């Protein structure tokens, strides 16, 4: 339902957020955006369901209504120049909080802050041109962001800005927001609830691939106890300051059927320390310096790094929402693994289930922001020490994210026939599969 045609302002019944909002939000940012100038061309987008009209620079574009809705519905603004390089983090998002009324706004503030008892989040009440709201900053997530909760036209909206320092881009963008009286209903879109598309059956050919009779898994090859930790070569690469290493074996997380039967993926497009993989030990944000993105085909089966217990399985939410469908597994000794951007979760990916290294826990995709194909198809995976889990939204399968702790570099990555050590790895390096035969799902007790 995109509409980029300029509307006559006679239809606008709401009121413009003026420069006061930009000044109040001077600690916020669009760190990745370039400042506007007098020659910047703007286009107008109006969403009659959301009840919002906004002017935005032509170099940016609107990613409109999500494929699915959760407790919110809205759109994001992303930068076209960044898109060309594959970087699709939003710079600005506006959402309607569907079930909320203006007198619920204080409860929403409490709910937004509650998952982070150890983080100092400043909450500032504001009244902007008659619209009451609160600014919350800094908010945890993949990167620094500021959240504005505001009521207009008997609705509550949340507006999120991504980055660390304010600039003219932000100020000029928020000046362009106009609230209007909604004249269409969300149910006209016939889009499903995000909970209803979390576990989606894979295509028949993928099911056939996974219907093996073998009981072998890689846990015997990937010892996961303190008495059998990997001894890496003495010349192993030094760690990025603030990061740590994972002392056990992990495996490549796809099978021989991946990428059309080649069984080969790559270390990247984004390698260690590249793209958004930048943090080692932030208390507030996702520490993923040693995360890797692996190009796969849609619906390729995805496996854990090694055996462990599922502690989160659902949509990423809040400031982590561009991770899409994700699974977090506790591998023991406060060491966790994250698998994200999945096309679907496997029925084995249920909180409390023990999964071994041969249990497929999901299928490769490009999900993010409650949308499929938000990204190119790939697996995003990362290892962590002493991280914290945040449950940030409601629903049957609430949205979540992780922060704090340290990003962990694997010391040894098993693949069929050998081991990759960090000193031999490089961006774009071909990497082979670890799972060589179809494997059944093992749903062992969580206290295994």
Please report, for the chain, the start and end positions of each structural domain, with discontinuous segments joined by +: 9-191, 195-432
Q: Which of 131-140, 327-336, 393-402, 405-414 has the lowest mean pLDDT?
A: 393-402
Q: How far apart are the C-alpha atoms of 104 and 116, rounded to whole Å?
A: 20
CATH topology of domain 9-191: Protein Transport Mog1p; Chain A (3.40.1000)
Q: How far apart are the C-alpha atoms of 349 and 430, rounded to whole Å?
A: 28
**pLDDT for residue 13 is more than 60:** no
Helical H segments across 4-104, by residue range:
19-24, 80-84
Query: For the chain, what's the residue count?
Result: 448
User: Residue 144: what are its φ and ψ, rounded to 5°?
Assistant: -55, 140
**Is residue 279 very low, low, confident or very high in pLDDT (cuts 50, 70, 90)?**
very high
pLDDT at position 155 is 95
CATH number, span 195-432: 2.70.70.10
Closest by CA position to 436, among listed 302, 254, 293? 254
Q: How far apart are the C-alpha atoms of 163 and 138, rounded to whole Å?
A: 10
Q: How far apart are the C-alpha atoms of 201 and 190, rounded to whole Å?
A: 20
Q: Once rounded to an integer, what is the mean pLDDT over residues 115-129?
A: 86
* Prediction pTM value: 0.84
Q: Once rounded to an integer, what is the mean pLDDT over residues 297-309?
A: 95
Which DSSP symbol is given to 137?
A: E
Q: CB–CB of 283/404 below 8 Å?
A: yes
pLDDT at position 315 is 95
**Is residue 76 very low, low, confident or very high in pLDDT (cuts 50, 70, 90)?**
confident
Q: How far apart are the C-alpha atoms of 439 and 448, rounded to whole Å?
A: 19
Cα 72 off chain centre by = 16
Q: Is 229 exposed, middle or buried (0-12, 13-18, 19+ CB in 10 A)?
A: middle
Residue 112's H or E segment, with its range, is helix 105-113
Closest by CA position to 29, among listed 206, 150, 147? 147
């Amino acid at each position: 339902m995109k509409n980029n045609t300029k509307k006559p302002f006679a239809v606008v019944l709401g009121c413009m957020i003026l420069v006061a909002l930009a000044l109040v939000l001077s600690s916020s940012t669009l760190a990745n955006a370039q400042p506007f100038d007098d020659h910047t061309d703007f286009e107008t987008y109006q969403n009659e369901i959301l009840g919002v009209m906004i002017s935005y620079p032509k170099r940016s574009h609107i990613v409109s209504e999500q494929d699915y809705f959760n407790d919110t519905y809205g759109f994001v603004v992303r930068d076209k120049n960044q898109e060309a390089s594959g970087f699709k983090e939003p710079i600005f998002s506006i959402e309607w909080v569907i079930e909320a009324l203006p007198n619920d706004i204080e409860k929403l503030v409490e709910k937004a802050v509650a998952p982070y008892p150890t983080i100092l989040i400043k909450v500032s009440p504001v009244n902007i041109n008659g619209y009451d709201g609160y600014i919350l900053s800094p908010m945890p997530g993949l990167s620094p962001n500021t959240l504005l909760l505001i009521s207009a036209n008997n609705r509550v909206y949340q507006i999120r800005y991504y980055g660390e320092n304010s600039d003219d881009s932000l100020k000029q963008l928020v000046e362009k927001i106009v609230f209007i009286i909604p004249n269409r209903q969300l149910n006209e879109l016939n889009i499903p609830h995000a909970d209803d598309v979390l576990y989606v059956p894979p295509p028949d050919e993928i099911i056939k691939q996974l219907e093996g009779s073998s009981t072998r898994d890689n846990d015997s090859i990937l010892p996961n106890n303190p008495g059998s930790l990997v001894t890496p070569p003495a010349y192993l690469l030094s760690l990025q300051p603030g990061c740590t290493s994972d002392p056990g074996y992990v495996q490549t997380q796809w099978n021989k059927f991946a990428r059309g039967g080649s069984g080969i993926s790559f270390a990247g497009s984004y390698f260690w320390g590249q793209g958004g993989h930048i943090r080692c030990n932030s208390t507030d944000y996702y520490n993923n310096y040693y995360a890797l993105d692996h190009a796969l085909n849609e619906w390729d089966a995805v496996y854990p790094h090694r055996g462990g217990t599922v502690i989160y399985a659902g949509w990423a939410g809040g400031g982590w929402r561009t991770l899409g469908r994700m699974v977090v597994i506790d591998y023991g000794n406060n060491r966790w693994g994250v698998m994200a951007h999945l096309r679907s979760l496997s029925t084995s990916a249920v909180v409390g289930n023990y999964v071994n290294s041969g249990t497929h826990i999901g299928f490769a995709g490009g999900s993010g922001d409650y949308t499929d194909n938000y990204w190119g198809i790939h697996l995003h995976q990362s290892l962590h020490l002493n991280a914290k889990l945040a449950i940030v939204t409601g629903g049957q399968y609430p949205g979540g994210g992780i922060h704090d702790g340290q990003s962990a570099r694997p010391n040894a990555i098993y693949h069929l026939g050998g081991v990759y050590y960090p000193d031999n790895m490089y961006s774009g390096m071909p990497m082979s599969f670890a799972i060589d035969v179809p494997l059944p799902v093992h749903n062992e007790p969580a206290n295994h």
